[in-house]
Amino acid sequence: MTLAIRARRAGLRPFVVAFLGVLLSAPASAAEPTHGLAMHGAPALPPDFDHFPYAEPQAKKGGRLRVGLAGTFDSLNPFNLKSGSAAQGLVGNVFQSLMARSQDEPFTLYPLIAKSIDVDAARTRVTFHLDPRAHFSDGKPITSEDVLFSFNLLKTKGRPQQRIAYGLVKSVDAPDAQTVKFDLSGIGDRELPLILAIMPVLPKHATDVERFADATLAKPLGSGPYVIDDATAGARLLLRRDQNYWGADIPSQRGFYNFDEIDIQYFRDGNSLFEAFKAGLLDYREETSTTRWSTGYDFPALREGRVVKEALKNDNPKGLEGFVFNTRKPVFRDIRLREALGMMFDFEWVNANLYSGLYTRTKSFFDESELSSSGRPASAKERALLAPFPDAVRPDILEGTWRPPVNDGTGRDREMAKRALELLASAGYRVEGDALTKDGEPVAFEIMVKDRNQERLALNYASSLQRIGVDARVRLVDEVQYQRRRQKFDFDMMIGQWLASASPGNEQRMRWGSASATQEASFNLAGASSPAIDALIAALLAAQSHEDFVTAVRAYDRVLLSGFYVVPLYHASEQWIAHSTDIARPARLPRYAQPLFGPTLESWWRNNP
């Protein structure tokens, strides 16, 4: 299939087809083996690097790590459609991929199961050379047959983002037991070689293909540093070090996975989780409550120096969290209604009265980074990218002057309510009695939430909306029901979260691409379907230089903001953590990790194991 046909089927305009055609018209140079692959430019680390900069190769080994997580789980398979309720801590610890991502670079991969990679300049072909030492935890070698099996299984039964990305591959071949070749010609996706490189490798001999789509508590077999010792649905996952882990001395693994056991306990209630930490039953906590952070850490263990709290920061863009409109619902199809409802969120009152003033209002999908469009007028290159879509970006967003509305902080800003009603009137809405209506139909919807913190915020927002006649009802559901309704888009409004990386790429298709708007379990919560969005995702994926990439992402940010798909909430510029002094971390933090540490603290160790 030609590039033009693929682009047209993806809904891209002729401008994008031509743009991608130019990028792919350069002759491909011969591929040569390399130790790593960066999305843009060359890997920062040399071929003979010893360890990642944020790892401590001399870290002590041994002991048990006790961590607590909020929520529940009913599956040990993190790769199928039901993985929204799968146990955390499996990826990396039990399952590993062809290559390992450095969190110190925007998007760069280094050897793991694959000892080297060959990619041509146009990224139309990629070859992985497997490390002959690599084996699963049962001792069986990892071969190209396992890679082909994993690719085909995830392509047909994996997560939607995997199905879409792997479905682009033209062909795959395994000439021998340690070599796998992918043909990507005609695709025009420079990120796809990296997406393939982070593909998990599953054992062909120990994977139940027929039941792969089901939720299961059967202990899986992987190739990582840990095996599952015990699992109790919704309550506990115990990981035990595999003493025969083959990759312990690989540079990308050196200094990581230092605990002999990792005990992950699940808590349905946030207060119970915090009390367990205070009582010394857990070693680590990432704090998300401003109230607890500012007033809740006055307890004996902290006063006596057995627990410390830290506020840490890195260079990763701050993503966006907010009340997302499900535009599949008729009530939310008018962009003027969505903008007006956004005006009624009183961040100033909420921040001062609920969050001790510790949050910053989010104004971009890539806030506090060079990728953000906020505060920057569009460059000539951005305007050229946006030219085929003259109505996709509002003038104030194009100039970088737009900000989320600022309320007076009283909780009853009359001027803001007046502005919202004026905008609604221009769209044909009227207040009749106590209800906002259009064509005689009241504006009413449900806000789905999953915990008490979300419920408190949603109730405050619903109260503000009531002032302009909007009937917003808040419904609290349990975690399993929440995930199922989210995956089926069975909601009117919910709180969505879009974590940002320094290298946004293929995942944007599943968040905002038109094809994902109707694909069950995608993260296109808003149901966005826009040729402009599709074109700019294609542009950022095709960018060959860092400058072109930043240009495309900023233009993309402007289009998303102009759609008013989300009422932006807020973010903390720092990450708040507390931990026992019995465990320690490297002084050097990863520059682009989000969050700074995984749920099982891969780079930490116990001081006296």
Question: pLDDT per residue over 402-454, tens digit each?
Answer: 999 999 999 999 999 999 999 999 999 999 999 999 999 999 999 999 998 89
For the chain, the maximum distance between any two Cα atoms, rounded to a whole number of angstroms, is: 75
Amino acid (one-letter) located at 150: S
| Whole-number pLDDT of residue 354 | 92
Counting other chains too, the contacts that 389-392 makes at CB distance below 8 Å and 24 or more residues apart are 389/13, 389/531, 389/532, 389/535, 389/559, 392/530, 392/532, 392/559, 392/562
Is the distance from CB of 517 to CB of 524 less than 8 angstroms? yes
What tens digit of pLDDT does each residue of 235-285 get? 999 999 999 999 999 999 999 999 999 999 999 888 999 999 999 999 999
Q: Mind spelling out the 3-state secondary structure of 275-334?
A: HHHHCCCCCEEEECCHHHHHHCCCCHHHHCCCEEEEEECCCCCECEEEEEECCCCHHHCC
Task: Give, for 264, the enclosing helix (H) or strand (E).
Answer: strand 261-267
d(CA 541, CA 184): 14
Is the distance from CB of 68 to CB of 598 less than 8 angstroms? no
Residue appearing with tokens 């130019």: 22
Give start and end residues of each alpha helix (H) in 367-413: 380-386, 395-398
| Whole-number pLDDT of residue 187 | 86
Beta-carbon contacts of 335 under 8 Å, excluding residues fewer than 6 positions away, are: 563, 564
String of b and e for 568-591 (b: at least 16 CB within 10 Å)?
bbbbbeebbbbbbeebbbbeebbb
d(CA 96, CA 99): 8
Fold held by 320-571: Dipeptide-binding Protein; domain 3 (3.10.105)
- Per DSSP, the three-state class of 574 is coil
Least confident of 58-67, 400-409, 453-462, 539-548: 539-548
Q: Is the pLDDT of residue 190 over 50?
A: yes
Q: Is the pLDDT of residue 165 over 50?
A: yes
Q: Is the pLDDT of residue 13 over 60?
A: no
Q: Is the pLDDT of residue 14 over 90?
A: no
Q: Nearest to residue 86, comparing CAs of 261, 264, 241? A: 264
Give start and end residues of each alpha helix (H) in 387-530: 395-398, 414-426, 452-466, 479-487, 507-512
Q: Rounded to the nearest 5°, which phi and psi values hold at 495?
A: -90, 115
Cα 37 from chain centroid (whole Å): 21
Q: Is the pLDDT of residue 174 over 60?
A: yes
The pLDDT > 70 percentage for the chain reads 94
The domain ranges of the chain are 1-30, 320-571
| 402 vs 4, more confident | 402
d(CA 108, CA 444): 46
The 8-class DSSP code of residue 444 comes to: E
Instruction: Retrieve residue 507's tokens.
Output: 């995942």
* pLDDT (mean) for 470-481: 95
| Whole-number pLDDT of residue 31 | 60
- Helix, strand, coil percent values for the chain (each to nearest 5): 30, 20, 50
Instruction: Retrieve residue 594's tokens.
Output: 């989000």
The 8-class DSSP code of residue 516 comes to: G
Beta-carbon contacts of 518 under 8 Å, excluding residues fewer than 6 positions away, are: none
d(CA 83, CA 113): 24
- Mean pLDDT, the chain, whole residue set: 93
d(CA 115, CA 131): 5
Q: Nearest to residue 135, comparing CAs of 258, 252, 221? A: 221
- Per DSSP, the three-state class of 537 is helix
Quickly state the pLDDT bin for 160 (edges 50, 70, 90).
confident
Quickly state the pLDDT bin for 171 (edges 50, 70, 90).
very high
Q: Is 85 left (phi over 0), alpha (psi -120 to 50) or beta?
A: alpha
Is the distance from CB of 540 to CB of 504 less than 8 angstroms? yes
Q: Is the pLDDT of residue 380 over 70?
A: yes
Q: What is the DSSP string of 218-262?
A: SPP--SSSEEEEEEETTTEEEEEE-TT-TTTTSTTTTT----SEE
d(CA 196, CA 148): 11
With both helix axes pointing from N to C terminus, report the angle between 144-157 and 160-167 in degrees, rounded to the nearest 10. Answer: 120
| Whole-number pLDDT of residue 594 | 85
| Whole-number pLDDT of residue 120 | 95
Q: Is 167 exposed, middle or buried (0-12, 13-18, 19+ CB in 10 A)?
A: exposed
What tens digit of pLDDT does each residue of 548-565 get? 999 999 999 999 999 999
Instruction: Retrieve residue 80's tokens.
Output: 């199928």
Beta-carbon contacts of 18 under 8 Å, excluding residues fewer than 6 positions away, are: none
Is the distance from CB of 63 to CB of 604 less than 8 angstroms? no
Across the strands, what pairs with 171?
183
Count of alpha carbons within 13 angstroms of residue 158, beta-carbon side: 19
The 8-class DSSP code of residue 465 comes to: H
* pLDDT (mean) for 339-364: 96
* pLDDT (mean) for 149-172: 93
Quickly state the pLDDT bin for 12 (edges 50, 70, 90).
very low
